[in-house]
Amino acid sequence: MDRHGLPAASLATPIEPRHAVAPPAPAPVIGQQATQRSLLRCIDAAAASSCGPQHAANEDSHSPLPSPRCLFVVADGVGGGAMAQLASRHLVRHLHQALDGHAVDAASVRAAMLEADRAIAQRIAQVTEAPGAATVALCAPADRFGRTWLVAWVGDCRAYRLPAGEGQEIEALTRDDTFGHLGEQPPAGSGADDPARMVGNGAIAGANVALHALARGDLLVLCSDGVHKHLETDDWARLLRRPVPLARRCEDLIGQARQRGSVDDATVLVLQRSRWWAGGAS
C-alpha cells in the first residue's frame, strides 16, 4: 500500500514508443490570447496545445484564458499511465480551486500540490489500480505590480524567461525532476531522462518553488516536454521575438517542435508584462 492507503503501483514513467513509420500530420494548432489588467499591472497571456498525432486524446492541460487571479498552469498527463488526461485536467482544476483568491506563496503552492496528489490518486483508484499522474509548471505574480513571479514545478514541465531586448537568450527557470538530475536509479521501463516526480502517484513531497524578476517586456514561458525536448536554444528567441500576436508565437513553437520530430502532446503558455498606461509601473 502507498502513503494514500491505495494499492502500490510502479512509479515507472512509460517511455514514448519509437515508430518505424512517419506519424500522420497533426491537426492545426489554434492558439488563444487574453489580456488581464488591474490598476497596477497588465499581463498579456497566450496559450496553444496540440494532441500528439499518435494519441487518441490530448493528455496535456493548461489554465483557461483569461486565467482567474493571474495564476497560470501547464500540466502534462504521464503518457501510458492510467487516466493521464484526467490527471492533467484534474491537477489544473485543483490548483486553481486551491489558489485562486488566496495569497500564492511557497507554502500554499506546496500544500496545494500535496492535496492534488492525494485527490488525483483517489480519483484514479475509483477506476483502476494502474498508476496515473501528471507533471506540472505554474507561475503567479508575487507582488501587486508583477515585478516578481513565483514559479513552481514538479517533473519535467518547464518554465523559461526571455528578457526583453535583442541579443538576449532564453533562460531556463526550472530543473527537471528526472532520475538523472536527482541522482536516482530509474526503475525498469524508465530512463535517466524520465521524470522521477509526478503529481498523483504519491512520489512528491510538495513542489519546487522559486522567485524570479520579470521586467516590463520580458516573456515568461511554461511548456510541456512535447515542446522543450525538440527545440534548440536559438529557436526560442527567434520565434518568441517575431512581431506577431503571442498566440501565433505559441502556435509557431509547437509547429517547430513538430518539424523536429515531436509526436507527444505539446503545450506552451506565454506571458508578457507590459505597461498599459503612461504612468504605469516599470
In this prediction, residue 80 carries a pLDDT of: 65
Domain count, the chain: 1
What is the span of the domain harbouring residue 163? 32-273
Judged by DSSP in three states, 228 sits in helix
- d(C-alpha 182, C-alpha 42), whole Å: 37
The answer for 80, left when phi > 0, alpha when psi is -120 to 50, beta otherwise, is left
- Name the grid cell of 251: 502556435
The cell numbers describing 230, all together, are 525538440
Does residue 21 register a pLDDT over 60?
Answer: no
> Can you tell me the mean pLDDT for 173-189?
92
* pLDDT computed for residue 81 by the predictor: 65
pLDDT bucket at 100, cuts 50 / 70 / 90: very high
Q: What is the mean pLDDT of residues 256-275?
A: 94
176 contacts 223 by C-beta, under 8 angstroms:
no
In a domain, 1, yes or no: no
**Residue type at 35 in one-letter notation:** T
- Average pLDDT of the chain, as a whole number: 87
Confidence band for 232, pLDDT divided at 50, 70 and 90 = very high
Among 232, 219, 228, which residue's Cα sits nearest to residue 271? 219
**4/19 Cα distance (integer angstroms):** 37
- Label residue 263 by pLDDT band (50, 70, 90): very high
pLDDT band at residue 38 using 50, 70 and 90 as cut-offs: confident
Report pLDDT for 83: 86
Report cis status (omega within 30 of 0) of the bond before 66.
Answer: yes
**99: in domain:** yes
CB distance 204 to 117 below 8 Å: yes
Where residue 243 sits, what CATH number does that domain have? 3.60.40.10
